[in-house]
Amino acid sequence: MIDFELTSNEPYSLRFRELKITSFKEACDFIAKLPYGRNANREDFGLVLSEEKGTCSSKHALLATLALENGHPEVELIAGIFLMNGETHSKLSHFFTGKNYPNIPECHCYLRFQGERFDYTDTSGRLERIIPRIVREQRIDPNQVSDWKVMIHKHYLQGWLNRNPAFELTLEELWKDREEAIALLSN
């Protein structure tokens, strides 16, 4: 990942410097070490710093905004859809037992720079297990991580269900199962 000094006087740059974090690489490392967890307001990714936790969406939207504040629009925020299962997330190894489907298309946010993907959700290196299962990628703006990301995710899920009628699921049922899987990952 590109590294640069945080010299902007925009809000997030100032907040990181208050934490004695002065470079983009330091900011990425700091964010990756924060626990995974949903924030109180999914539209305010600045809560990652005050609540000291975040999701793939909030953490990467914050970092993408930080890059923009410092003149680096080439750091792209990506919403990637991949097929989530027990191989991509070991905590889900038993989740799919007895289900009509072997995986769930999941939307994951990460950064891309010069064609290379970078994931600061945590320090697990999970992105390497996800990459072979990515079925769609789309660059999004940081302010799109709340509504737009959910919309493209649900649109993909509905198409997936339409292509797989044997699963005999509605979008609402699949979304409920997905939320259950995410809750397992949060523990």
48-71 per-position pLDDT tens digit = 999 999 999 999 999 999 999 999
Element (H, E) at 140: strand 134-140
Q: Where are the domains of the chain?
A: 11-69, 79-186
The arithmetic mean of pLDDT across residues 18-23, rounded, is 97
**pTM of the predicted structure, to 2 decimals:** 0.90
Phi-psi label, residue 38: left if phi above 0, alpha if psi -120 to 50, beta otherwise: beta
Share of the chain above pLDDT 70, in %: 100
Task: Write down the pLDDT at residue 185.
Answer: 82
Cβ burial of 139 (10 Å; 0-12, 13-18, 19+) is exposed
Per-residue pLDDT tens for 126-163? 788 899 999 999 999 999 988 888 899 999 999 999 99
Phi (first) and psi of residue 158, to 5 degrees:
-65, -40
Task: Write down the pLDDT at residue 147.
Answer: 86
3-state DSSP of 16-82: HHHCCCCEHHHHHHHHHHCCECCCCCCCCCCHHHHHCCECHHHHHHHHHHHHHHCCCCCCEEEEEEE
